[in-house]
Structures are given as C-alpha cells and as structure tokens.
Amino acid sequence: MEHRSRPAPGAGTDTVTGRAPEAGRTPGNAVRDRAGDPDARWLTALMHAAFFLLLGASLTRFLLRHPGEARTPWIIALSVAIAVLYVIGPVLGSRPTPRSLVWLGVLVAVWMVLVVLAPSFAWCAVPLFFTGLRILPPRAALALVALLTLFVVAAQLRLADGFDPNLVLAPPAVAAVATAVFVHMQRQAVRQRELSERQRELIDDLLRTRRELAATERREGTLAERQRLSMEIHDTLAQGLSSQQMLLQAADRTWDADPATARRHVRTATGIAERNLAEARRFVHDLAPADLAEGGGLEAALHALAARETAQGQGRLTVRCHVEGERHTALPDRVQSALLRIAQGALANVKEHANATEAALTLTHLDDRVVLDIADNGQGFVPTGRTGTAGSVRGHGLPAIRARLHQLGGTLTIESVPGEGTVLSAAVPLTATSPPTAPEDLV
C-alpha cells in the first residue's frame, strides 16, 4: 500500500484526486492557476468581466429606481469600494495566504452590506462563487457558496411582492450549476496535467531507451569491428609472420650445409615481410586488401595471390587460378575483400596442414551469386562440422571464413576425404541484404 504524508490541519484534501494539496496551494487553484492552463485564464477573464458587468447593472438599476434617497451615497461608495477590492484581488494571487483570506473576507462583507441596502446587488454572487472556490479549501468554499446563496434568496424575496417558490429554488440551482461547472473544469485540468506528466514520462523513457539502444549498437559495432580486424590480421599478417618463421628456421638449419638454399629462404622471407608491410600500411590507411588497392579487381588479386604463393612455395606448392563465367556487374567492395581474405586464409591452411603440392583457386560468376572454390591434393581430413579439422587445436582459419560468409549471407561447403585432398567452397549471394539468422554450413 502506498503511504502519503498527512496534510496539515485545515489544509484539506483535493475532492477530485483525493490527494493532499501542494504546499501553499489549495486543490481549487493548484491546477487552474498554472501559467500554461488556457481554460483557467479564460474562466478568470470571464468571471472578472461578469462581476463588473453585474455590479454596473445593479448600480444602474438602483439609481434608476431609487434616485435621491439617503442611502444612495452609501450605495455608490460601497459599489466603488467593492470594485476597488475586486481589482486588488489578482494582485494578491489565488493562494490561501493570510492577505488573500482577509481580502476575500472584506470583499464578501462589503457585498453583504450592499445586498442588505440594495437587494439587486445579489446577482454579483455568481462571480464571488468562483472567487471563493479558487481561493478556499473545498469545505470552506462550499460553506461560502451556501452563505452567499442564502443572501441571494433573502434578497430576491425582499424584492418580490409575495412568496415566490421560483425565487427560493432558482438561486440554489444557479449556485449548484456554477459549482458543478467549476468542479468539472477542475477535473479536466487535473486530467490534463496527469496526461501531460504521463507523456513526459513516456518521452523520457523513449529517450532513455534510444540512448541505451545507441550505446548497445555502439558496443556491438565495436565488437564486430574487433572481430573483423582479428580475421584480417589472422589472414594476412599472422599468416605471413608464420611463413617467415618457417622460412627463417629452414634457413638456419641449412645455413652451413647449403648456403644458397638458406639465402633463398631468407629472400623469400624478405618478400613476405615486404608484403606484410604493405598490408599493415593498408590497414592503417583504409583496411582494404593491398592486392585490391592495386587495381584490377578480385580476379587480378586472386591471380597475384596464386603467383605469390607459388613463388613462395619454391617448388613445393603450385597454386593455379581460374575464373569462370562473366561478371555482369561489379562485385561490391566488401564481397571482393571477403573472398580475397577467404582465399588467403584457405591457402594458409593448405600450406600449414595439408602437405599439398598443388592447389587451385576457382572463381565462378553466376547470375545470382559468386562462388570461390579452393581445392588441394593434400592429405585431407574427416570434416567435423563447424569446428574445423578433426583433432585440430588451431581453429582460427575456418571459423574466420564462416564469420566472413555469415556477414555476407553466404554459405561454406567443405568436402574432404583422408588422402584425397580437400575442396572448400564459399558461395556469396549477390542479392542478399542481411546475413541469415542461423546459417547452416554444408559439410
């Protein structure tokens, strides 16, 4: 159960919401006096105009009906006094401060004296109803309305020649209607304020959710970029460093026995280092593959890769490149980059694990997709699904290839039999706009 602080004695509670009024404010004016409430301003202006109109009409009627009487100066003086008092009211505000309560008491007292001297001034009671409802707490305001209504009834009966039931029932009915209209507007103002508060809360929640979503997207983008960079480094710099290490180790072993072969290994390692340096500089520049940056597109980059791997193999591995089909439109840069990295990573696995003497890169252009096949005549393996080779402890190559294809909505097919080589096929659809939710690689 929600607990609320008890209002101060005499402060009362809001008859509409059942809540304690704000400090220094009454339920009747807590909403209507807000600067942004157009209904409150409209109602206040209307009541001010009605009061002065009724006051002027009552004074005119008295002067026409009772000219030259002894009480006429008093009626005029009291009319001026009540007009001045009413003008002072807005300056004091509508909060139930001691000054405003004294002002309201003096205003009502002057009006009562006027009604006693001239009953026609009773019609000024309607604007006074709203004045009391705006300033006083609910119970005090209702008591004031009842008191003013009694004075109006008494004044009307004095003006009548005899007893008239209409004069007894009409003023309470008018008071009831005026109070009902006021309470209805109060309820509408409360609902409007609550609706505005809910809207502000919803807007705040939406802004907070958008900020959280943006932060989440930034984190996901950062992680995706880190993964992409790790794959780029694995397929280029890491593989090149691994090749350099093997060549330098081989040169160290043959340095005394076969200096010429050792120097050839060192020159090959130097060439790989130059290539890695170009890749590193390309990473710094725009992270595009160096072969693609040289121009000629994916086909030229694959031919250059095949020639370079053949030269680095020094007769132990020969790599050929074939292109089948005609390209109708230029491949997107991200597709070209991904397929070149896949070829680099696959050939690195061939050199390190397959013990192959021949390998072939085949790029096939189809109507709706492009397919890159990497085949070798190595020792093969028993495919184990998505984890790479059986018993492999270095599982970065194939997962990186799968990740690249997943980003492009492509598929990976691996066909391998022990002793009969391996064929890796990477297919990328040219119409895919987003990767599949759960791609299934065919093994």
Task: State the Cα–Cα distance between residues 117 and 41, nearest whole angstrom.
Answer: 33
Task: State the Cα–Cα distance between residues 58 and 74, nearest whole angstrom.
Answer: 14
Strand partners, 324: 364
Task: State the Cα–Cα distance between residues 326 and 348, nearest whole angstrom.
Answer: 28
**89 against 212, higher pLDDT:** 212
Task: State the Cα–Cα distance between residues 331 and 410, nearest whole angstrom.
Answer: 14
Comparing 121-130, 260-269, 317-326, 371-380, which segment has the lowest mean pLDDT?
A: 121-130
How is residue 368 written in tokens? 């709706």
Q: In 3-state terms, what secondary structure has residue 255?
A: coil
How is residue 3 written in tokens? 């607990």
How is residue 303 written in tokens? 């031919």
Percent of the chain at pLDDT > 70 equals: 79
pLDDT tens digits, one per residue of 390-436: 444 345 678 888 888 988 899 999 999 888 899 999 999 987 544 44
- Give 406-433 as a DSSP string: HHHT-EEEEEE-TTS-EEEEEEEESS--
The confidence band for 376, taking pLDDT boundaries of 50, 70 and 90, is very high
How is residue 218 written in tokens? 């930034």
Cβ pair 81, 124 in contact under 8 A: no
How is residue 339 written in tokens? 């397929």
Determine phi and psi for 52, rounding to 5 degrees.
-70, -30
Residue 390's pLDDT is 40
Sequence-ordered list of residues with C-beta below 8 angstroms from that of 343, at least 6 positions apart, any chain:
302, 305, 361, 372, 374
Task: State the Cα–Cα distance between residues 221 and 431, nearest whole angstrom.
Answer: 23
pLDDT tens digits, one per residue of 63-95: 888 777 888 888 888 888 888 888 887 777 667
Report strand pairing: 422-429 vs 369-376. Answer: antiparallel
How is residue 333 written in tokens? 């840069």
Cβ pair 132, 145 in contact under 8 A: yes
Tell me the Cα Rg of the chain: 47
Residue 23's pLDDT is 39
Q: Which helix (H) or strand (E) element contains residue 372? A: strand 369-376
**227 against 258, higher pLDDT:** 258
| Of residues 147, 38, 126, 138, the one with CA closest to residue 96 | 138
Q: What is the mean pLDDT of residues 173-199?
A: 78
- Give 171-196 as a DSSP string: HHHHHHHHHHHHHHHHHHHHHHHHHH
Single pTM value for the model:
0.40
Answer yes or no: is pLDDT of 13 > 60: no
The length of the chain is 443
Cβ pair 415, 423 in contact under 8 A: yes
Percent of the chain at pLDDT > 90 equals: 11
